[in-house]
Structure 1
């Protein structure tokens, strides 16, 4: 919680003009993109009517090597941004360099700021971080492993103690690198090892959460910002005796402050649609300019919309060498922490691009409005 008094503002964001501290324009971002049709020949199916798509036979290496690769990758950026998350199976030939290249190009061809690139994880230097399968390491690849993460993040404040009560899995929801001034736009995760079952990942549509809110209340939410503090990286680095990485995918992501201010509602630069962004989740430490009780009510309300409306969620049942690519500007995601109940390991490699400072264009519309869909 940043302010204990109402009506506080924060103008820390480097872009303008501002509405109550929220950037209302992004000069470096393009107008919403239009799909060209270059992917129409590829078979796919939607995961739900609201969120998610799977291309069951597409090989991403074929897309990277296609004569019209730029057009196809740009169209994939649009599809990912409209559907929130897209799944691909059996990407055994997609190496680390190809994964980094695809993630980078999806963001670059869809209007990412030119000076930005792939994210560098703040605690890449931590000795507890796992190596890649070949024994090497890459500052643009984050190796996901539950056992290693528990050790690295042992310094996390207010870490839930062991109790006889079940876990509150709502704490798992987040968007990648919201703790950065320039957070991630696209993330790409490939699963290298999977247990026989369990360890699924879920994505929730921030577009649809916005559409489930009454017009008067979402107008109010559009005036709010949230502080996204994540001091665990600084404390982990101090405990390990190393410096956090800096810069981290953008000249604006430097130092070890890790407490930027972001709009609760933002506009997706690719689609031009509004989504609830910093209204809830693991990295959101408080809504600015409201009392403590109001902060709790707002965050619990936003998160409750995901909990009460399971049709806003897409679920990935991971298989070996499967890939998910998502747009953090319009979805949250959460891993399912149940793999301790089965034998086997869950290891993945993730690349993330760094996008623009989140902004809210007052002329943008909701997803349902843009597509002419009924409100409910």
Structure 2
């Protein structure tokens, strides 16, 4: 049960109802993740109280960070996957003008089609690129080659082992309005490898000392991805615009986001733009301080594996998560096994991130001990 702080919040936390209490589940860890071993999202859509169930699912995801659906969801269409992703945001207070994210490089003529041979501006086809890793934010192999050619320190640029810390990210942090919910459905996967990990931004915040909490709450980070402009120029096609919000337009791929933000659904503070693939630097600090802060946030992830939920993918399984309070990372090991890993993902677009001084950490909000 969420406890509401005494100070008035910018948005009051949403209270979950009991419409999905009939679904069997297991919490992946005490801190993050919930798995539904038998639930079918199609059944949820066809229920007479479908919107009530989707709203309660959305609030559950915002509290738990990520939800896994283990039963194969093969009966779910692309349009239904898009609808669920969109409704999760709409039913929890997303700005009315916002919708599903559009990938900036959708105009590339070489996009990998979905299983039915079509493409969709709101869907990303995530596929192994030259059998080394699952593309984190590109939608086809040809576009990836052009994009990587413009990147500094790109994957495979040297003969050293890959730094897997680079994989951690929240979706669309390079947008003024980043993603709220993401929904990934795995169409095919090898028998082992390619796991995805999610880390709780709530718990990362709660692991900070009060002095460091105060420091990070006063900081923003630039989340620049100039590679999208260079990829469009190299490919000779225009960038997609707008992208799920009127504020996500043109080549504006360098917003500053709060290092600690408030989740509007729960009212809890989360480490947000403190580290990861899309964070280019902490604003207003010296270069060494920038490096130190980001290295420390990454250390919180790697040294506190109880903050992490891991999904071993099986065919047809799904994950739906809140980008506001989690970071995630794909494991680039599928080149060691036979078979490809292919999935389709939709992402919604939420509000401009903010820190509400009246919000609390998750542990304080739930009345849990500090450690």
TM-score if structure 2 supplies the norm length? Answer: 0.92
Shift of 1:162: 4.2
> Does the 8 Å contact 2:181/2:322 carry over to 1?
yes
1:185 equivalent to 2:180? Answer yes
| Superposed displacement of residue 26, structure 1 | 9.6
TM-score (norm 1): 0.91
Q: Structure 1 residue 127: deviation in Å?
A: 2.7
Query: Which residue of the partner structure matches residue 3 of structure 1?
Result: none
Partner SS state of residue 187, structure 1: strand
In angstroms, what is the RMSD of aligned CA positions? 1.3
Give deviations 1:17-65, integer Å, cap 9, x for gaps.
xxxxxxxx997xx421001111111100000010000011111011111
How far apart, in 2, do the equivalents of 1:187 and 1:107 lie?
A: 10
Q: Which digits, 9 at most, give the CA deviation of each residue in 1:118-161, with x for residues without a partner?
A: 00000011233210111111000010012144435323421144
Asked if the contact 1:126–1:152 (Cα under 8 Å) also holds between the matched residues in 2, the reply is no
Q: Which of residues 215, 223, 227 in structure 1 aligns to 2:218?
A: 223
- Whole-Å separation in 2 of the counterparts to 1:364 and 1:83: 17
Q: CA deviation at 1:308?
A: 0.6
Q: Kindly report structure 1 stretches of 4+ aligned residues shifted beyond 4 Å.
A: none
Deviations 1:266-325 (A, max 9, x none): 000111100000000000000000000000000000111001111100000001111100
8 Å Cα contact 2:202-2:362 kept in structure 1: yes
Change (3 A) 1:188 1:215: same
**Alignment-derived partner of residue 80 in structure 2:** 98
* Matched residue, 1:37: 18
**Aligned equivalents of 1:156 and 1:37: distance in 2?**
50
Alignment partner of 2:67: what SS? Answer: strand
2:80 matched to 1:85? no
Match of 2:365 in 1: 370
The answer for the alignment partner of 1:72 in structure 2 is 53
* Aligned counterparts of 1:114 and 1:127: Cα–Cα separation in 2: 31
Would you say 1:241 and 2:223 are equivalent positions? no
Contact 1:26–1:359, Cα closer than 8 Å, also in 2: no
Residue 4 (structure 1) aligns with: none
The question of 1:115 aligning with 2:110 is answered no
Aligned to 1:52: 33
CA distance in 1, matches of 2:40, 2:95: 28
- What does residue range 166-315 of structure 1 map to in structure 2 within 5 Å? 166-315=161-310
Q: Select which of 90, 104, 107 maps to 1:125.
A: 107
Instruction: Work out the CA distance in 1 between the residues paired with 2:58 and 2:236.
Output: 39
